[in-house]
């Protein structure tokens, strides 16, 4: 049954869906039957970072609901264009951390490879929103340089494909990189950081499954779901295929005001993830990126949400609350006991 579903899915089907994604506020709001007069000021925000939403993701939104938590993540709004002090274009100073094009080496045992800067969806809170999205992917030479760089660091045992979104790359491109990494004896794991299966579940096609099934590397996939409504049967089925192929499935979320800053929603998210064979990994505090301040949830609120989750979920369904800071040896864990909780 499952095999047949995969076999009949055409390899290029996801690319077609990607090319048909909504790319304007007008067309998305029309599709969702929301009068556009309710958003008078989006023009500049849309110009700064264009809208991009595959239909499969729009179909998970509630028609007519301007407050839909999925819509809020992708809709350009007026607040984005108001400068807020402390919010910058490159909060993580990543432009300084890449020794060779397309590679970030911030943490000791793992490197992050940016295969391309495109994504299947544009998330308004993303710290990459100011990066040059029109950049092309890596050339063959740049690709070789990356593999050579990793070869020089025996302590690197894991290569993380990120972006942009690595699953925008074709299966053949991914296979070339995996084949090259397999020749490095100290690399044992490959990890995908991706939101594509959430917004375009058909991306997990038969060729991709056979790619992850046949590599000698252990494969980890870190999904990016922020709200339980993002987990629907098509997504869950894709996750089942990956699990059957031996992939370890984890999820990272960003704590977002008006989307998931609520213990009931986060509890449902953890439960829904686990039903789809995924364990919660990180809950990130927002990076202070210009244009995203209206999504910010203050750290003490994040701490009290995690404490509520600890009281209602098994430990393995509670994500680690972290912040990403420049020049640190890892993500920074947020302590769960602080002065304000002592006084409660
Ligand atoms: C987040 C990140 C990683 C992965 O960190 P983990 O804690 O292993 O998930 C690796 N490199 C960079 C540059 C990162 O930003
Ligand atoms: S990198 Fe991730 S969070 Fe940022 S726009 Fe792409 S999919 Fe969204």
SS3 state of residue 103: strand
Q: Say which ligand is closest to the CA of 281.
A: 1
Residues in the chain: 344
What is the per-residue pLDDT across 198-244, written as a single tens digit (0 to 9) for each? 999 999 999 999 999 999 999 999 999 999 999 999 999 999 999 99
Cβ neighbours of residue 83 closer than 8 Å, sequence gap 6 or more: 290
Burial 294-320 (b: 16+ CB within 10 A, else e): bbbbebeebbbbbbbbeeebeeebbbe
Assess whether the C-beta atom of 280 lies below 6 angstroms from ligand 2: no
Taking CA atoms only, the protein residue closest to ligand 2 atom 2 is 195
Q: What is the DSSP string of 112-163?
A: EEE--S--SS--TT-TTTTS-TT-----HHHHHHHHHHHHT-TT--EEEEES
| pLDDT exceeds 60 at position 2 | no
CB 40 within 8 A of CB 29: no
| pLDDT exceeds 50 at position 9 | no
Running DSSP on this structure, what letter comes out for residue 315?
G
CA of 272 relative to ligand 2 center, distance in Å: 21
Position 116 confidence tier, pLDDT thresholds 50, 70, 90: confident
Taking CA atoms only, the protein residue closest to ligand 2 atom 8 is 123
H helices of 195-298, in order, are 196-199, 206-214, 233-244, 263-275
CA of 197 relative to ligand 2 center, distance in Å: 12
Assess whether the C-beta atom of 107 lies below 6 angstroms from ligand 1: yes
CA of 105 relative to ligand 1 center, distance in Å: 9
Q: What is the pTM of this model?
A: 0.93
Taking CA atoms only, the protein residue closest to ligand 1 atom 8 is 110
Position 96 confidence tier, pLDDT thresholds 50, 70, 90: low
Position 4 confidence tier, pLDDT thresholds 50, 70, 90: very low
CA of 107 relative to ligand 1 center, distance in Å: 7
Q: Is the dihedral of CA 316, 319, 321, 325 positive or negative?
A: positive
Give me the pLDDT at residue 88, please. Answer: 87
Position 1 confidence tier, pLDDT thresholds 50, 70, 90: very low
Q: How many helices (H) and strands (E) does the chain have?
A: 14, 9
Q: What is the DSSP string of 282-301?
A: EEEPPP-BTT-GGG---HHH
Domain boundaries, the chain: 84-333
The torsion region of residue 253 among left (phi > 0), alpha (psi -120 to 50) and beta comes to: beta
The architecture that CATH gives domain 84-333 is Alpha-Beta Barrel (3.20)
Assess whether the C-beta atom of 110 lies below 6 angstroms from ligand 1: yes
Taking CA atoms only, the protein residue closest to ligand 2 atom 3 is 126
What is the per-residue pLDDT across 36-47, written as a single tens digit (0 to 9) for each? 877 766 788 888
Query: What Rg value do the Cα atoms of the chain yield, rounded?
Result: 20
CA of 185 relative to ligand 1 center, distance in Å: 21
CA of 330 relative to ligand 1 center, distance in Å: 7
Assess whether the C-beta atom of 122 lies below 6 angstroms from ligand 2: yes
């Amino acid at each position: 049954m499952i095999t047949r579903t995969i076999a009949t899915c055409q390899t290029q089907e996801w690319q077609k869906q990607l090319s048909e994604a909504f790319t304007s506020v007008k067309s998305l709001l029309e599709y969702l039957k929301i009068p556009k007069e309710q958003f008078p000021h989006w023009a500049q925000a849309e110009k700064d970072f264009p809208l991009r939403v595959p239909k499969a993701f729009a179909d998970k939104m509630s028609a007519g609901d301007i407050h839909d938590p999925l819509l809020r993540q992708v809709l350009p709004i007026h607040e984005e264009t108001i400068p807020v002090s402390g919010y910058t274009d490159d909060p993580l100073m990543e432009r300084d951390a890449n020794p060779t094009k397309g590679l970030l080496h911030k943490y000791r045992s793992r490197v992050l490879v940016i295969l391309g800067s495109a994504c299947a969806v544009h998330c308004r809170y993303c710290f990459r929103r100011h990066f040059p999205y029109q950049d092309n992917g890596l050339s063959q030479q740049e690709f070789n340089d990356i593999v050579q760089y990793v070869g020089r660091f025996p302590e690197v045992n894991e290569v993380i494909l990120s972006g942009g979104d690595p699953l925008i790359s074709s299966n053949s491109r991914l296979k070339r990189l995996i084949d090259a990494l397999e020749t490095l004896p100290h690399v044992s794991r490959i990890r995908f950081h991706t939101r594509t299966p959430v917004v375009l579940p058909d991306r997990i096609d038969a060729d991709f499954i056979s790619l992850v099934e046949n590599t000698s590397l252990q494969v980890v996939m870190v999904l990016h779901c922020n709200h339980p409504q993002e987990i629907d049967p098509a997504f869950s089925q894709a996750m089942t295929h990956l699990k059957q192929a031996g992939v370890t499935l984890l999820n990272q979320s960003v704590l977002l005001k008006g989307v998931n800053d609520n213990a009931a929603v986060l509890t449902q998210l953890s439960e829904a993830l686990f039903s789809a064979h995924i364990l919660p990994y990180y809950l990130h505090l927002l990076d202070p990126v210009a244009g995203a301040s209206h999504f910010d949830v203050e750290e003490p609120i994040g701490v009290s949400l995690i404490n509520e989750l600890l009281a209602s979920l098994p430990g393995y369904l509670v994500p680690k609350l972290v912040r990403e800071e420049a020049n640190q040896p890892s993500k920074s864990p947020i302590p769960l006991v602080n002065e304000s909780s002592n006084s409660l």
